[in-house]
Structure 1
């Protein structure tokens, strides 16, 4: 039997109040800030220059728009689910209602790869920028405390410290955590806007010419000198031209990942049926506008070719303005960006495990709440888990696991919309994904293509992780499932 939770049952759970439930403190503005906090990280400052130099040139801003549209397919599906089922748990809860307990477990377990390991990945980079900030004051952290043992060091100590500090903040309460996140978001958005405003008047139109650099191989395909398959599989695909814009869009897709963390806070939102779609879609729109303007100014200040193999393309471009004193502010902004990403990812992970524990699929310890009504034991457990990964595992291994876990979750949420529209068309939908089935199908295709582009090792690690999850499910989760107990009680 396929054990599914009914939508009305989940909605009733969402209406529960009292000291054993999460506290509703988040407004629409707070949810948008959560989304922006999770999306805008240092990827904006590094990926933009890389994609421009290697793939798209000044047309990288078109790549951002394409990536945003691709990401919005999943975002619109998340918004429909979040308005219908306003409970913590995100894709896990949505899968429970559409595809049953077994798939829900898989996606809940998979979300550890997105939220927990994303926190660890970002913490590793955070430590490098923190050390760079210290160096401006002639202070530095010994090299052996900035890298794990597999990278020639002993432990990444700053990464461990930031994970622990933010976990403690989350234990104190959602309101306190979101206040800190709002301040960090204000800081980093302000500096990005300052960069755009100050840099705009120094833009050299010559740097935007040609707007789309030529890819000679594309002309060879048109003339028949080069076969289409040879072009698609050769080294010239993705080197500027239309193919370069598309390749850059694939790279920049990951600059938008994080909006789904908003949906994990649904049970802490005020009027979630109205505010959840605003939080998810609003954060995507705001970030897209910032990204496009930022890319336009960056490629206008310096020629895109100067960003190749450049670790600090933003500093290189901003030097054109003469406002070099803001370079420290940019570093501080990157640190703020990373900090808010870690904070939101840790919050998202704890809420997913809270929901799984409430359903009996994980031990009760994961849904125990403190007097501040936060799942503090889950926060503590993941503080240990994430800090160990951040302190000792190489960032490249972590990054690929995060990518494949996130895309897998996106694809299942899009599939869930297709299933629910077919099986329960009568349900109230405060927000409806437009152009169904086209949008969910496109979302699945985009995620599938990007997953296929990841290294074989990523698939092997995903398979290993899911295998471990299945062992836990069959030996614990299945036996303690409250839904199964309820169904068994009805039969007896």
Structure 2
């Protein structure tokens, strides 16, 4: 018999404190979404795939997010519990589907946080160098990275200690309580939005209209190099820049009014981020010809050179550093809440399903991921694995959209605080759009996903399947037991 979680709101907050309002949810969504991807992926996608039509790519990615976001809103209102897509898949499609998407989300957040912490460390090194503070290069790079030459031999790094530092610092902040973390995130979001607005506002008068011609460069004959296929490939690439808005649903059990605020928070944060991305990419491709962006490690700096405002470079660096901080915070928050929900359901050891008596946070989850994420950031060149996060999120979105359709058929009379309009049209559109972008991603990204899910099936088969609370209760009152600390 298929094991499914009961579709019911939690009887209590499972030890988590309900302290978040609508403003905090929107700030978490914007903070987790607008990060380095805006500054780096825009140039990569424009130079290698879409040209000025990268604006369309951002819009396409946003449409796919919007379809999924509406579906998230409906399920969050029905099941306002920690765990996001994991809980929704578990309730709609059964335990195996829940495990797959939960395991997938854990990788998404872990690898994403590691990659962003490594990038944060690089920008901090650049900032410190500008202040005349020079740290030992070997202590700012992984053992797989060459930092110099000695006696004709390459010198490799030892460990990326700044990346570890920021992971530890934010983990400690999250352990101390969600309210303080939300306030810090709000401040960081205000700073980085101000910086982005400055780049857009000061850059607009210096746009060269010739850079928009041709707006959609003709395809070179290779899939993904300009033309329609290039726009699709770029949409899949820049989808990484939208990661984070879905993390709002991981804090449903810490939200004061989740049924009302979760759908609004999801869609409002997505709308803000989409407007920022489209405006920013429009200005960037107008300041610099897309051909010049191919292979440019700092396309935003190149664009700012087209204006007389040299101080903008320092402002952008500040915006990027702040962007990294909020993205790391939201990813570490999301991964801990998914792991927490999986442990509460018996699929992972009970240590991860407990909350601190005073702080009201899953300290065991935070400590575990502080070590794992910090270790990845210290010893691996994690940037290549960052592509994994895009396909992982797309898969989660597909499952959520499928879950809406399934639950409408299985439990049509279940109360829904928010209901996606249009019947099955929007969920089906979400499934189709996400699958199209998944197909456009490269084969290596797919292999990584399959490999990680294979590892997950081994863990599920050896532990989760036998310790699942649905397996051990055998029909007892699952909602009460599951949500009582």
Q: TM-score, normalised by structure 2?
A: 0.91
Conservation of the 8 A alpha-carbon contact between 2:76 and 2:263 = yes
CA distance 1:489–1:267, shift in 2 (3 Å): closer
CA distance 1:458–1:428, shift in 2 (3 Å): same
Compute the displacement of 1:328 (Å): 1.4
Distance in 1 between the 2:210 and 2:347 partners? Answer: 60
Give the aligned CA root-mean-square deviation in angstroms: 2.0
Give yes or no for the alignment of 1:215 onto 2:218: yes
Compute the displacement of 1:478 (Å): 2.7
Aligned partner (choices 9, 29, 33) of residue 27 of structure 2: 33
Distance in 2 between the 1:160 and 1:100 partners? Answer: 37
Conservation of the 8 A alpha-carbon contact between 2:206 and 2:306 = yes
Deviations along 1:432-490, one digit per CA (max 9) or x if unpaired, are 22334232223223333333344444444333333332333233323332222322558
Aligned partner (choices 262, 267, 278) of residue 281 of structure 1: 267
Distance in 2 between the 1:303 and 1:203 partners? Answer: 10
Conservation of the 8 A alpha-carbon contact between 1:120 and 1:398 = no
Alignment of 1:342-361 (within 5 A): 342-361=328-347
Alignment of 1:328-339 (within 5 A): 328-339=314-325
Give yes or no for the alignment of 1:480 onto 2:452: no
CA distance 1:114–1:213, shift in 2 (3 Å): closer
Distance in 2 between the 1:411 and 1:489 partners? Answer: 31
Compute the displacement of 1:138 (Å): 2.4
Deviates more, 1:419-428 or 1:195-204: 195-204
Distance in 2 between the 1:6 and 1:185 partners? Answer: 37
Q: Which residue of the partner structure matches residue 5 of structure 2?
A: 5
CA distance 1:454–1:238, shift in 2 (3 Å): closer
Distance in 2 between the 1:52 and 1:456 partners? Answer: 21
Alignment of 1:371-386 (within 5 A): 371-386=358-373
Q: Which residue of the partner structure matches residue 130 of structure 2?
A: 136
Q: Which residue of the partner structure matches residue 229 of structure 1?
A: none
Conservation of the 8 A alpha-carbon contact between 2:47 and 2:294 = yes
Compute the displacement of 1:179 (Å): 0.8
CA distance 1:137–1:352, shift in 2 (3 Å): same
Deviations along 1:338-379, one digit per CA (max 9) or x if unpaired, are 111110011011111111122222222112211110111210
Compute the displacement of 1:251 (Å): 2.1
Deviations along 1:207-248, one digit per CA (max 9) or x if unpaired, are 33x25144176xxxxxxxxxxxxxxxx42x444444433332
Aligned partner (choices 262, 267, 270) of residue 248 of structure 2: 262
Deviations along 1:108-128, one digit per CA (max 9) or x if unpaired, are 122111112211111111111
Q: 3-state DSSP class of the match of 1:5? A: coil
Distance in 1 between the 2:30 and 2:230 partners? Answer: 27
Q: TM-score, normalised by structure 1?
A: 0.90
Distance in 1 between the 2:54 and 2:253 partners? Answer: 37
Q: Which residue of the partner structure matches residue 307 of structure 1?
A: 293
Distance in 2 between the 1:404 and 1:327 partners? Answer: 32
Distance in 2 between the 1:35 and 1:484 partners? Answer: 35
Give yes or no for the alignment of 1:103 onto 2:63: no
Conservation of the 8 A alpha-carbon contact between 1:4 and 1:99 = yes
Q: Which residue of the partner structure matches residue 310 of structure 2?
A: 324
Conservation of the 8 A alpha-carbon contact between 2:219 and 2:225 = no
Conservation of the 8 A alpha-carbon contact between 2:113 and 2:332 = yes
Compute the displacement of 1:6 (Å): 1.6
CA distance 1:460–1:321, shift in 2 (3 Å): closer
Q: Which residue of the partner structure matches residue 198 of structure 1?
A: 202
Q: 3-state DSSP class of the match of 1:121? A: helix
Distance in 2 between the 1:405 and 1:58 partners? Answer: 27
Aligned partner (choices 248, 253, 266) of residue 234 of structure 2: 248
Give yes or no for the alignment of 1:391 onto 2:378: yes
Give yes or no for the alignment of 1:67 onto 2:67: no
Compute the displacement of 1:206 (Å): 3.3
Structure 1: state its 5+ residue gaps.
218-233
Conservation of the 8 A alpha-carbon contact between 2:397 and 2:431 = yes
Q: 3-state DSSP class of the match of 1:322? A: coil
Aligned partner (choices 139, 152, 167) of residue 171 of structure 2: 167
Q: 3-state DSSP class of the match of 1:320? A: coil
Conservation of the 8 A alpha-carbon contact between 1:212 and 1:241 = no
Compute the displacement of 1:85 (Å): 1.0
Distance in 2 between the 1:344 and 1:432 partners? Answer: 26
Conservation of the 8 A alpha-carbon contact between 1:74 and 1:413 = yes
Deviations along 1:60-110, one digit per CA (max 9) or x if unpaired, are 222221221122222221111112111100011101111112221222122
Q: Which residue of the partner structure matches residue 221 of structure 1?
A: none
CA distance 1:252–1:190, shift in 2 (3 Å): same
CA distance 1:94–1:207, shift in 2 (3 Å): same
Q: 3-state DSSP class of the match of 2:206? A: coil
Query: What is the number of residues matched between the two proteins?
Result: 466
Q: 3-state DSSP class of the match of 1:201? A: helix
CA distance 1:422–1:70, shift in 2 (3 Å): same
Compute the displacement of 1:201 (Å): 2.4
